[in-house]
Chain A
Amino acid sequence: MTQAQPFLRLDAVSKRYGGRAELAVEGVSADIREGEFVSLLGPSGSGKTTTLMMIAGFELPSEGRIMLSGSDIVGIPAHRRNFGMVFQNYALFPHMTAFENVAYPLRLRKQPSSRIDEKVKRYLDMVGLARFASRRPAELSGGQQQRVALARALVFEPTVVLMDEPLGALDKNLREQMQIEIKELQKKLGITLIYVTHDQSEAMTMSDRIAVFNNGRIEQIAAPLEIYRRPETRFVGEFVGESNMIEGRVGDATERRVETEIGEIEYGPDSAFGAGMPVFAMIRPELITLAEKLPPRNGTQLTVTRTIHFGDRVSVEGTTVGGTMLRFRASGREAAVCATGRQVNVAWRSDDVHILARGQ
């Protein structure tokens, strides 16, 4: 907000596909800084790809403006936007070698061939594919193809790089490796990157900020930890990570207490809600711990209904007398205490309770 002029700005952008009643994207606004890594995270069909396609220039917004350094780019065709794009299925040209694929944007820009040669080699080297320059896409593995696509999207030093689930087709190990590589390249080259994914851990580890999409809208756009600790809507809280959402009403606003079915819950200092407002008290499972005695506040007794072992830790589900379900984590050593059917006491710290608005 301190910056006078954002680099890339989406201003109330909406998209309705021809002949459809509902909006695919509805009033999306976001300011993206130069050199920032922003993820668009959301479930399938939430409008991530559509938003990206409008930024790239492949789809026209039905309403709203897209501004780059202060000027509207909606009227500029995709091929003159100078944005780099990486697709999920790589979209490498099958009739060209890896070298020619990477050289393609440079040839279009009529750069001298000695310079093309030098740059393509440098970028192929950067993604660790110098040895594979003369191979065709069909002769490369999925991960190698994705690296070629990456080099091709970066080699012409685009203003903004757009990626649509670029790692979706790779196996878990390779995906994690590529996440690190992309993040490092982005930092090293200072690239402004907009990254579509429906994998929340991918968004958490790579992004400077995450825009959480739901039903064509951005529910919240903030830094990963902010999204995790202080989600603004129930959807965000439940989509990103696991959470316990306890229904209640603000009781005493100055004492910061919520009245719920499991008793009064105190919450942290950073929420402003008036007395009587319907809210959720959100507590992450890893912030609930087993307690010897039942505390007077910020705790409850549970009957364990289910435990799932992950080796080093256990995920436990239990219900209160009133029927509220809570999920929490226990260490491997505590597993025996949490056997199904046992009664346990759990507690949490008031600072770890986050309050968010609840519709009536």
Chain B
Amino acid sequence: MSAADPTIAPASAAANAPSGRHAFGRGLRPWLLLLPVLLFVIGLFVLPLLGILRLSVVGPNGLTLEAYADFFSDPFYLRVLGRTLITALIVTFFCLLLGYPIAYVAARYAGTLGTALLLIVTMSFWTSFLARTYAWMVILGSQGLVANVARVFGWEPPQMLFTGLAANIGMIHILLPFMVLSLFAVMQRIDPNLLRASTGLGATPFQTFRRVFLPLSVPGMINGCALVYIVCLGFYVTPELLGGPKDQMIARLIGSQIEQLLDWQEAATMAAVLLVVTLTIFAVYDYFFGLDRLWRS
């Protein structure tokens, strides 16, 4: 708190370092350079986060964990939280499944095909995800593309729009580019000589992929999964528009706490719970798979 007092710091620094102002200046310079970034991060990320945490524990009568008790004793809330975590897992899984081959081709065949693939994937970044969500509504609606094609073959499709399936398809579609780019960034740096070396030592193309390429692309998989998973946890509009009432995710729940119930404390609590759950998942993951070991090469 008293660090803001400008007279104290230089005096004590001079006392510690006999070379005086020079040493002090040199020690301080990196921090001065970092200052804008530091202010930015603290002002826009750390303080609001602390604000949310504070909001969740400060009630009308001072400090209280009442909101947390409410959350964990309400089976509906817990169900939404569980659904959110599982939905994000499913979406991440399918993004990886679909994104891996795309990134693989883009990275391995750097010529025209790879560039074209990458361009198409990144192009979807330029279209608003709201527009893409509405596009899915058109495609999956009861008079939409899929339903009409199915009817041509004499098959009446079940309800697709406003189901969990539609919500998941929409989210996978929107998040896929994140996965592809994360994978591509890592795959592109895999030395082609390693693959040649493997082949030369007697590995079939599949063995080379399994034993060399795949393990070396793991960091990209982790990056991509982490990114997609975290973004997916906070998805709001897409599941709301494409999914049904039963497919509500926690971001929607937080929204309604604020918009309809004006219960900021409960909303902050949910946000805090989501944050802690996410961090826990990654801590556990790190413990078992050792992220830093995978990056060393």
| Chain B 147-188: CB-based contact to A (< 8 A → 1; otherwise 0) | 000000000000000000000000000000000000000000
| Chain A 131-157: CB-based contact to B (< 8 A → 1; otherwise 0) | 000001110000000000000110010
Query: Counting CB contacts under 8 A, is B261 at the interface?
Result: no
Sample of 4 further A-B pairs with CB below 8 A, known A80-B202, A105-B202? A83-B200, A87-B197, A95-B216, A156-B202
Query: Counting CB contacts under 8 A, is B199 at the interface?
Result: yes
Known contacts A93-B194, A95-B215; is-contact A79 B202 (Cβ 8 Å) = yes
On whether the beta carbons of A109 and B202 are closer than 8 Å, the reply is: yes
What is the minimal beta-carbon distance from A60 to any residue of chain B, in angstroms?
Answer: 14
Task: Report how far A109 CA is from B204 CA in the complex, Å.
Answer: 11
Query: Counting CB contacts under 8 A, is B21 at the interface?
Result: no
Task: Report how far A95 CA is from B208 CA in the complex, Å.
Answer: 13
On whether the beta carbons of B193 and A87 are closer than 8 Å, the reply is: yes
Query: Counting CB contacts under 8 A, is B191 at the interface?
Result: yes
Query: Counting CB contacts under 8 A, is B108 at the interface?
Result: no
Q: Which residues of A contact B211 (CB under 8 A)?
A: 104
Known contacts A108-B207, A138-B297; is-contact A91 B194 (Cβ 8 Å) = yes
Taking Cβ atoms with an 8 Å cutoff, the residues of B that contact A are 191, 193-194, 196-205, 207-208, 211-212, 215-216, 296-297
- The number of chain A residues with a CB under 8 A from chain B is 28
On whether the beta carbons of B201 and A105 are closer than 8 Å, the reply is: yes
21 examples of A-B residue contacts, CB within 8 angstroms: A56-B200, A78-B196, A79-B199, A79-B201, A79-B203, A79-B205, A84-B201, A89-B191, A89-B193, A91-B191, A91-B196, A92-B197, A93-B212, A95-B297, A104-B198, A104-B203, A105-B201, A108-B207, A136-B297, A138-B297, A153-B201
On whether the beta carbons of A58 and B196 are closer than 8 Å, the reply is: yes
Task: Report how far A108 CA is from B207 CA in the complex, Å.
Answer: 8
Known contacts A91-B193, A94-B216; is-contact A138 B296 (Cβ 8 Å) = yes
Task: Report how far A78 CA is from B205 CA in the complex, Å.
Answer: 10
Q: Which residues of A contact B204 (CB under 8 A)?
A: 79
Q: Which residues of B contact A80 (CB under 8 A)?
A: 202
What is the minimal beta-carbon distance from A311 to any residue of chain B, in angstroms?
Answer: 41
Q: Which residues of A contact B212 (CB under 8 A)?
A: 93
Q: Which residues of B contact A87 (CB under 8 A)?
A: 193, 196-197
Q: From B201, B204, B207, name the one whose CB has the most chain A CB atoms within 10 angstroms.
A: B201
Known contacts A89-B193, A91-B194; is-contact A108 B201 (Cβ 8 Å) = yes
What is the minimal beta-carbon distance from A160 to any residue of chain B, in angstroms?
Answer: 11
Query: In the complex, which of the residues B197, B205, B215, B296 contacts A91, with contact meaning CB atoms closer than 8 Å?
Result: B197
Q: B196 — nearest CB in chain A belongs to which residue?
A: A58
Query: Counting CB contacts under 8 A, is A212 at the interface?
Result: no
Task: Report how far A70 CA is from B46 CA in the complex, Å.
Answer: 73
Q: A162 — nearest CB in chain B belongs to which residue?
A: B200
Known contacts A91-B194, A138-B296; is-contact A104 B201 (Cβ 8 Å) = yes
| Chain A 92-128: CB-based contact to B (< 8 A → 1; otherwise 0) | 1111000000001100110000000000000000000
On whether the beta carbons of A58 and B199 are closer than 8 Å, the reply is: yes
Query: Counting CB contacts under 8 A, is A167 at the interface?
Result: no
On whether the beta carbons of B197 and A156 are closer than 8 Å, the reply is: no
Q: Which residues of B contact A77 (CB under 8 A)?
A: 199
At the interface, is chain B mostly helix, strand, loop or mixed?
Answer: helix
Q: B205 — nearest CB in chain A belongs to which residue?
A: A79
What is the minimal beta-carbon distance from A158 to any residue of chain B, in angstroms?
Answer: 9
Query: Counting CB contacts under 8 A, is A85 at the interface?
Result: yes
Task: Report how far A83 CA is from B197 CA in the complex, Å.
Answer: 11
Q: Which residues of A contact B194 (CB under 8 A)?
A: 91, 93-94
Known contacts A93-B212, A108-B207; is-contact A152 B297 (Cβ 8 Å) = no
Q: Which residues of A contact B207 (CB under 8 A)?
A: 108
Known contacts A87-B193, A108-B207; is-contact A94 B297 (Cβ 8 Å) = yes
Q: A104 — nearest CB in chain B belongs to which residue?
A: B201
Q: B211 — nearest CB in chain A belongs to which residue?
A: A104
On whether the beta carbons of B191 and A85 are closer than 8 Å, the reply is: no
Task: Report how far A134 CA is from B212 CA in the complex, Å.
Answer: 18
Q: Which residues of B contact A56 (CB under 8 A)?
A: 200
Task: Report how far A108 CA is from B193 CA in the complex, Å.
Answer: 18
What is the minimal beta-carbon distance from B257 to any residue of chain A, in angstroms?
Answer: 46
Task: Report how far A108 CA is from B194 CA in the complex, Å.
Answer: 15
Query: Counting CB contacts under 8 A, is A233 at the interface?
Result: no
Query: Counting CB contacts under 8 A, is A320 at the interface?
Result: no
Q: B194 — nearest CB in chain A belongs to which residue?
A: A91
Task: Report how far A94 CA is from B197 CA in the complex, Å.
Answer: 12
Q: B294 — nearest CB in chain A belongs to which residue?
A: A95
On whether the beta carbons of A78 and B297 are closer than 8 Å, the reply is: no
Task: Report how far A56 CA is from B143 CA in the complex, Å.
Answer: 59
Ranked nearest first, the 6 interchain pairs of A and B with the lowest CB-CB distance are A94-B297, A91-B197, A85-B200, A105-B201, A91-B193, A108-B202
Query: Counting CB contacts under 8 A, is A82 at the interface?
Result: yes
Q: Which residues of B contact A105 (CB under 8 A)?
A: 201-202
Task: Report how far A87 CA is from B207 CA in the complex, Å.
Answer: 20
On whether the beta carbons of B297 and A84 are closer than 8 Å, the reply is: no
Q: Which residues of B contact A91 (CB under 8 A)?
A: 191, 193-194, 196-197
On whether the beta carbons of B202 and A136 are closer than 8 Å, the reply is: no
Q: Which residues of B contact A137 (CB under 8 A)?
A: 297
| Chain A 28-71: CB-based contact to B (< 8 A → 1; otherwise 0) | 00000000000000000000000000001110000000000000
Task: Report how far A136 CA is from B193 CA in the complex, Å.
Answer: 18
Task: Report how far A156 CA is from B197 CA in the complex, Å.
Answer: 14
Q: Which residues of B contact A95 (CB under 8 A)?
A: 215-216, 297
Query: In the complex, which of the residues B191, B198, B203, B296 contacts A136, with contact meaning CB atoms closer than 8 Å?
Result: B296
